[in-house]
Each structure stands twice: as C-alpha cells, then as structure tokens.
Amino acid sequence: AEMDVDTIWHNGEYVDWEDATTHVLTHGLHYGTGVFEGVRAYDTEEGTAVFRWEEHLDRFYESTKPYDMEIPYTREEITEATMEVIRRNDLDSAYVRPIAYYGYNSLGVSPGDCPTDVAIAAWPWGAYLGDDALENGIKAMVSSWRKHSSSQIPTNAKTTGLYVNSLLAGEEARRNGYKEAIVLNKEGNVAEGPGENIFLVRDGELFTPGLSESILDGITRNTVIELARERGYTVHDNVSISRGELNTADELFFTGSAAEVTPIRQVDNVEIGNGSRGPITEELQTAFFDLVERRTDDHEEWFTYV
Ligand code: PMP
C-alpha cells in the first residue's frame, strides 16, 4: 500500500516514493544493523514544528556508536533534509522516520566496507494506539517475552534489530486481546513497552524505571518528567519497579513519540485505579498536548519550525 507521500530523502537525494528502494543483500536487512528515530512534527499556531528535533538528532548519532557506524552527513544536512521532506510532502503534522543502516557491499556479519545508507521519510500518522486510547486508556498484557538485557545488546541505542523483541511482545499481547505489551527486563522488573516508556502513579508521586533497567532513554519520558516536576510532582526516575507494583498502581501510562501520553487502564486481568484515565495522567497528557501544539509558550527551545 502506498502512503500518501511523494518524496523520500535517500542518500542525499530527494526521490519519488516508489524509487526509495534498497538491494536485497543490504546488510541491515540480514542482521538488523540499522539505527533510526521516530519524531513528530505538530501543526501549531506558528506553523509546523518538529518536537525536540535536536534531542532526536543527538540520539540518532549516539545510536551509531556501538556499531562503529558513521553517518556520512552532518547534523545540518540531516536537519535540512528532514524539514524539506516535510515541506515537499505538504504535511501540516507528520511522523518523521530518519534511518541509517549498513547497506550492501559484502554479506558477512562484519560490515566491512558496507556503506552507511541514510533515508528520511515523513507521513501523516494519527494516534499510535488509537484516539480512543488517548482518552480512555488501553489494556496491556505483561509479555511472556523478556526484554534483552543491556549487557546483551545496547538497549539505549535505537537499533532496528531490537524491534524483533518488540514485535514478539506486541503481537502476543494483541493475539490475546490486549492493545499493547508491557515488557519486563531480564531481572523480572518492569522495563517498558515495545515502543514506549512506562510511568506509574502512586500516592500522588510518579515512578518510572531508571536508565539501568534496560530501557530506551525516551525523549517523551524526559519531557513528561520535566512537565511533572514543573507542576510540583515528585518524580522517581531512577527506580526499579516490580511486576506486582503494576497491579497496585493508582495510575499507569505509556509515553513515546508515537504513543504520546497513553493511559493504561488494565494490566492483564487487573483494572488499574478506577479502570479509566487517571487524574494525574490526564493533567500531564493535557500539559503535553498543550505544549506540543503550542497552546502555551513555554519550552520554545524544544521546537524547530519547518
Ligand atoms: N522505548 C522504546 C523501545 C521505543 O521504541 C520508544 C520509541 N522511540 C520509546 C521507548 C519512547 O521513546 P521516545 O519518547 O524518545 O519516542
């Protein structure tokens, strides 16, 4: 199925959607050796604005480091290409997907002389888990799959190969009638969702697994921590959360560039709180959308206008 976009940037050129292809012997296709970002641009009063672009760009380059991969374009070039892709496709709001991957040279596991290919696409994308999810929350299933330990693969690098685990967990959840999975780490503590970080509210305070719990250092996670602290909440962002604490939470929610702030109303067979979006979740979700759609003028430094 063709997306409603005309132009994709690929290795320095703007190409038509149908020409943005790669060879079947691409290293990244065989071994999962790509790094990518998922970024949102919002339709604001002052025009289309990419949210926290600089932080996404930081993570994009940082993700290459364990793989000794060199993105052969500067930050300025990647930025210009991204803004231009949004402009050329006439998008008011968009989900933006920059990806860098080992391309084709020879097909050993060692990338050898494989080039680093880079592409940037953007397309319209609504609520990741559905509009209803934002308002009423979702049912999540604790996955039988554990997340890779950060001692097995760098979980703080946003690497394509990692998402095989996300697919296993997410599809298992959906096969069982749930919208999304919650994935425990190798120690059995709560890590994150397949593509989201997770927050717990208890007695008016917020808790989210620390960076050493084998999670991605989410930019939405960081945003919500800041928004919550600015509103006077205590946020514990360097803790371990046991599985049982999910059941006794007053509120739970996911965060992510795609998922934004999505309430979780049920975990396995247990209703969370009163089984709907909790009040602190709602307050922070409202703060988040007011921020990204620029109904407030705080954190102007987080916006790059297209
Ligand atoms: N964890 C994982 C595994 C993810 O894929 C994502 C989405 N990038 C997140 C957390 C949330 O990160 P962010 O808020 O930066 O999108």
- Residue 107's pLDDT is what? 87
- Please list the residue range(s) of the chain that carry CATH number 3.20.10.10: 131-292
Ligand 1, pocket-test mutation among 197, 221, 237, 284, most atoms within 8 A of CB:
197
Distance CA 194, CA 155 (A): 12
Which atom of ligand 1 is closest in space to residue 56's alpha carbon? 15
Decide: 213 in ligand 1 pocket, CB within 6 A: no
Ligand 1, pocket-test mutation among 257, 288, 291, 292, most atoms within 8 A of CB:
257
Give the closest residue (by CA) to ligand 1 atom 5: 195
State the catalytic residues.
158
Superfamily of domain 131-292: D-amino Acid Aminotransferase, subunit A, domain 2 (3.20.10.10)
Distance CA 242, CA 112 (A): 42
- Of the candidates 58, 118, 119, 56, the one whose C-alpha atom is nearest the C-alpha of residue 85 is 119
On the 0-12 / 13-18 / 19+ scale of CB atoms within 10 A, 232 is exposed
DSSP E strands in the chain: the ranges are: 7-10, 13-16, 34-36, 39-44, 47-51, 94-102, 116-123, 138-142, 180-184, 190-192, 197-202, 205-209, 235-239, 251-256, 260-267, 270-271, 303-305
- Residue 4's pLDDT is what? 75
Report CA(105)–ligand 1 centroid distance (Å).
Answer: 31
Distance CA 137, CA 131 (A): 9
- Residue 5's pLDDT is what? 85
Report CA(66)–ligand 1 centroid distance (Å).
Answer: 18
- Specify whether the CB–CB gap between 292 and 286 falls below 8 A: no
Query: Each residue's pLDDT tens digit in the chain (306 positions)?
Result: 557 789 999 999 999 999 999 999 999 999 999 999 999 999 998 999 999 999 999 999 999 999 999 999 999 999 999 999 999 999 999 999 999 999 999 889 999 899 999 999 999 988 888 889 999 999 999 999 999 999 999 999 999 999 999 999 999 999 999 999 999 999 999 999 999 999 999 999 999 999 999 999 999 999 999 999 999 999 999 999 999 999 999 999 999 999 999 999 999 999 999 999 999 999 999 999 999 999 999 999 999 999
Distance CA 33, CA 44 (A): 35
- Residue 69's pLDDT is what? 98
Tokens of 48: 């289309």
Phi-psi map region of 184: left, alpha, beta (phi>0 left; psi -120 to 50 alpha): beta
For the chain, the farthest-separated pair of C-alpha atoms sits apart, in whole angstroms, at 57
CATH T-level fold of 7-123: D-amino Acid Aminotransferase; Chain A, domain 1 (3.30.470)
